[in-house]
Amino acid sequence: MSTGAPLLSVVALAVATEEDPRYHDPRRSRDTEDMAGLFGGWDTAREDEGAGLLAAYLASVARYSGAPLSELRMLTPDGEDIAGTALSRLGPPPGPQPFVLVQASADRDMLSAALPRLVHESRWPVTEDLGLTHLGDLGGTAVVGLVSWWADARSGATALVVDQPLFALAGALPGRLTAVALRFGDGDGPLHVLDQGEGSPPPGADRSFHGPGACGGWPELHHALHQDELRPGDRILVRCGTEEQRSWVLLRRTASALGEGR
């Protein structure tokens, strides 16, 4: 992305969280409605069946994560709808525009795909929609680059970044799940997009916000904006992920007012 004249801005920002989300041992689940969705509703594998699709699926997840199956925990599908809450707080767009959903991992509820559900329930004037999953920690800033070439800045776009790991280790369960809703517009907005990338960010930022996972520093930036801590002209660095895999976006605060996102 060029660091020349800004063509894209973040015009509104909203955040939703779920504290202490509930995870369970999927091997011991006898709720067929909970687990059957993993296989489109036709898997009948039970806890006492060593073979079967459920056992094979969980074994593959354990191999991929490098953890023993006994340590694997799965997010329950009946928790808070942080994705819907973040969109509700952001509010509808001023006119028809595209919508992109970026998830760090898989859909939380396998029986109800998040993207069509959110588009249907919002009843917003969506021109086209796009869903991306399994982007890990990179999604929270990579979406900025995506919007910059995918959407027309004059009509804008809405992006929703959801970080709610479907699987986690028993000793390292996340204490919070986060969703960040971003509305993009042209370069006249309150947060000009200057650059975006991975690895080492450019020097010279006046403020830096960072955090774990795909949503990274966006919640901290949201808090700072609503506390009026940033001045026009400030160069703002938002970073997502860990030191080993960190991405970033560089913004500049202007005198324009932030949108209605809460």
Q: What is the pLDDT of residues 41-86, one digit of tens each?
A: 434 444 444 446 667 777 887 887 788 888 988 888 777 889 999 9
The pLDDT value recorded for residue 37 is 46
The pLDDT value recorded for residue 131 is 85
Distance in angstroms (rounded) separating the CA atoms of residues 88 and 113: 18
Whether residue 13 has pLDDT greater than 90: yes
To the nearest whole percent, how much of the chain has pLDDT over 70? 83
The pLDDT value recorded for residue 29 is 61
Residue 246 vs residue 206, higher pLDDT: 206
The pLDDT value recorded for residue 154 is 86
- C-alpha distances in Å from residue 105, one per residue of 66, 93, 132, 137, 141: 16, 26, 9, 10, 15
The pLDDT value recorded for residue 137 is 82
Going through the chain in order, the beta strands assigned E by DSSP cover 9-19, 23-24, 72-75, 97-103, 126-132, 157-163, 167-169, 176-185, 191-198, 207-211, 235-241, 246-253
The pLDDT value recorded for residue 195 is 93
Tally of CB atoms within 10 A around 32: 14
Q: Which of 189-193, 200-204, 212-216 has the highest mean pLDDT?
A: 189-193
Whether residue 4 has pLDDT greater than 70: no
Can you name the residues that pair with 237 across neighbouring β-strands? 208, 250
Mean pLDDT of 212-222: 92
**Are 110 and 77 within 8 A, CB to CB?**
yes
Determine the residue type at 92.
Answer: P
Whether residue 109 has pLDDT greater than 60: no
Whether residue 200 has pLDDT greater than 80: yes
Mean pLDDT of 27-37: 54
The pLDDT value recorded for residue 184 is 96
The pLDDT value recorded for residue 262 is 53
Confidence of residue 253 (pLDDT cuts 50, 70, 90): very high
Averaged pLDDT of the chain: 82
Determine the residue type at 119.
Answer: V
Q: 170: left (phi > 0), else alpha (psi -120 to 50), else beta? A: alpha
Tally of CB atoms within 10 A around 54: 22
Of the candidates 70, 80, 68, the one whose C-alpha atom is nearest the C-alpha of residue 26 is 70
Distance in angstroms (rounded) separating the CA atoms of residues 160 and 165: 15
